[in-house]
Structure 1
Amino acid sequence: MGVFDDLVGQERAVETLRRAAASAAETLSGGRGAGMTHAWLFTGPAGSGKEEAARAFAAALFCPDRGCGHCDMCHQVAVGSHPDLEVVRPQGLSYGIKDTRQLILRAAGAPTLGRWRVVLFEDADRATEGASNALLKAIEEPPPRTVWLLCSPSPDDMMITIRSRCRVVTLVTPPVAAVAHMLVTRENVPPETAEFAARAAQGQVDRARRLALDAEARGRREAVLSIPASLAGVAECVTAAERLVKTAEEEAAAVTTALNESEIAELRKVYGEGSSGKGLNRGLIRGGAGALKELEDRQKSRATRTKRDVIDTALLDLVTFYRDVLAVQFGAPVELANDDRRADLESLARSATPEETLRRIDAIMLCRERLAANVNPQMAVEAMTLSLRWPVS
């Protein structure tokens, strides 16, 4: 299997990237390489695989066979150990100018192995205005062998000046059938479970994989989708909001706690904790107090982002649920993402008008906007659940 084979349902994007990798190889051999450029912007909805596409393209640039999937270069990219690939994942809610300037300095270095130096910037839309301006200057005048791969949900999420200097690769939501086929053939998931997971994930490959393989992920989805039918009064709305936020906090803690501990242990080791010698340990630890404080701040920011990402996933599940309610109300001949909860869908569809269902969808989207604007999650979610009360008061 080549590096592009994991991109489910992205045939057009894969063809573009294959041609670019061929042009890059031509450039290295002294040709014109007209299909290659130094800055790329990968866009697409959540779960479409834009980060995976960027990583596959990086492997194809390093690989002598343009992404064979089994050579040392491809393997190093897959495990994150290639010396000429830097992957940037903003840990907090934003990515600042200080980090961006340090990144630009690192990106300016010559390739270690002689082909390309690649910077893969995930969630590049999280860059602050100052960081984006600094990034623009680096993209305008890049070193000859440096390639920038930026990822964002849509081109409009990036500064227009950055967008205009990048070649845009647009990924689409993969078809449910393609995702289900991938789960069956690559993960050995039973066809019925694969169909359920692909449909529930609405084409998000990573989410579909989690739903198919992780019973806890399926349980969290069930808990979220049970919310609409439980909102009979104010008390139930407050309880549901509290439960959703608490679950997000617990999941975020499970994701970040082990990573936080390992990072702190590594930092303490770097600054000499456990070293022998008179006065050595105390002096180095004191010197590292500032670095430790900075790390803890980053970890706190990462935990906040993770918590809000978990809540946002739950909100998107609710949006698909009410979209299915709307489809039932109109009798639309479409595939329902939550067909496994058809009884709830039909019950709620009978209890309100399509206009009221649309208002509930608007309430969920407003909650997402408030969370993105750093509104207190408990308050934002409570306001939403109160707007979702059923039947209409």
Structure 2
Amino acid sequence: VDADEAEGIVLQSSTTPLEAKVKIIIIHEVHLMRDAAAVRLLKTIEEPAKQIIFILLADQLVPSLTTLNSRCVTINFSRLADQDVADSLINEGVFPDTALMVAKASHGNLDRARILVTDSHLLRRQELFATIAMRLDGTGAAVVKIVAEIVEQLEQAASALEVRHVREIKELDDRVALTGERGSGRKAITDRHKRELRKLRTDELRSGLGQFAKTYSDLICAQPELTDGDEIMSAIRLIHKTISTLGLNTNETLALHALLLKCPSLSEVSRNITSLVG
């Protein structure tokens, strides 16, 4: 949300509801809100008209939202259990094995799970993130190659969602051609499509980095006395710190380069273990 969008929200909140006694204004991705927009909206949200209800949606409560958050009632939504997601997919006709695999990859997000069911690149993407630690060799060249592959996989992950978006736009165009209606809501749909693509990309990167961190944590659990343990624990903390910044207007490519340059190579750790055993 930028300053211009905030101005539009203020304008909407000043008009009288036409179809009901109250008007509900939903603001998406508030965690990405610009400071100027937050300042512009503060008074409006703090003292809304009696007939106005604001619903603010955010992936996380970042420091810039502290003041806005203090004026709101916070409702936290917990993730769905993997089995619940899998059961829903099975009821929709997905094979049980596929449903459970996709449910685990979706991290409790049923909408995301439905997209992943049609994602032919999912397994390859999971393999890419699971092997990052072994492919690192301490050089910038390796980091550049891995990051380029991650960016490519993120682009491919969006293809299944883009197919749905194309279908929705076609359905809109067909309806407009048939009815001749004005104010068809194309802008609202395209704005939603942009939000969905941005969220999917962020979700996939968070999921992948979580898998990357797991390769380090699995080694620590298997080898608690590892001499490189402190370095590996530091890498795990860095990965989770990077995950927490995703979706906050972060440059993904730069963030990935900075992260991978600081992470140890598990192939080098494996050689050290072999040397000690020998």
**TM-score greater than 0.5 by the shorter chain:** yes
Q: 1:181 aligns with which of 72, 75, 87?
A: 87
Q: Do residues 216 (structure 1) and 107 (structure 2) align?
A: no
Deviation at 1:250, TM superposition (A): 5.9
Q: Does 1:391 align with 2:270?
A: no
Q: Which residue of 1 aligns with 2:98?
A: 193
Provide the rounded CA distance (Å) in 2 between the counterparts of 1:121 and 1:183.
29
Structure whose alpha-carbon radius of gyration is higher: 1
- CA distance 1:315–1:390, shift in 2 (3 Å): farther
Q: Is the Cα contact below 8 Å between 2:28 and 2:58 reproduced in 1? A: yes
1:113 partnered with 2:19: yes
Matched, 1:206 2:82: no
- Separation of aligned partners in 1, 2:48 and 2:197: 33
- Normalized per residue, the structure richer in helix is 2
Is there any run of 5+ residues in structure 1 with no aligned partner, and where? 1-94, 267-294, 332-347
Q: Which runs of 5+ in 2 are unaligned?
A: 174-186, 270-278
> Do residues 313 (structure 1) and 204 (structure 2) align?
yes
Partner amino acid, structure 2, of 1:140: E
2:213 maps to which residue? 322
Change (3 A) 1:355 1:173: farther
Q: Which amino acid aligns with 2:18?
A: T
| CA 352–149 in structure 1, closer or farther in 2 if over 3 Å, else same | farther
Please provide the CA RMSD for this pair: 3.9
* Aligned twin of 1:130: 36
Report how many residues are paired: 244
CA apart distance, 1:180: 1.7
5 Å-filtered alignment, 1:157-172, equals 159-172=65-78
Identity %: 23
The structural deviation recorded for 1:190 is 1.9
TM-score when normalising by structure 1: 0.51
| Cα distance in 2 between the residues matched to 1:119 and 1:138 | 12
Q: Is the 1:322–1:357 contact (alpha carbons within 8 Å) kept by the matching residues of 2?
A: no
Q: Distance in 2 between matches of 1:106 and 1:373?
A: 26
Does structure 2 conserve the Cα–Cα contact (< 8 Å) formed by 1:174 and 1:203? yes
Deviations 1:224-247 (A, max 9, x none): 333333334523332111222244
Partner of 2:181: none
Contact 1:244–1:311 (Cα < 8 Å) also in 2: no
CA-CA distance at 1:121 after TM superposition: 1.0
Matching residue of 1:361: 236
What SS does the corresponding residue of 1:148 show, helix, strand or coil?
strand
Alignment of 1:206-355 (within 5 A): 206-232=111-137, 234=139, 235-249=141-155, 310=201, 313-323=204-214, 325-327=216-218, 329-330=220-221, 354-355=229-230
Letter in 2 for 1:320: Q
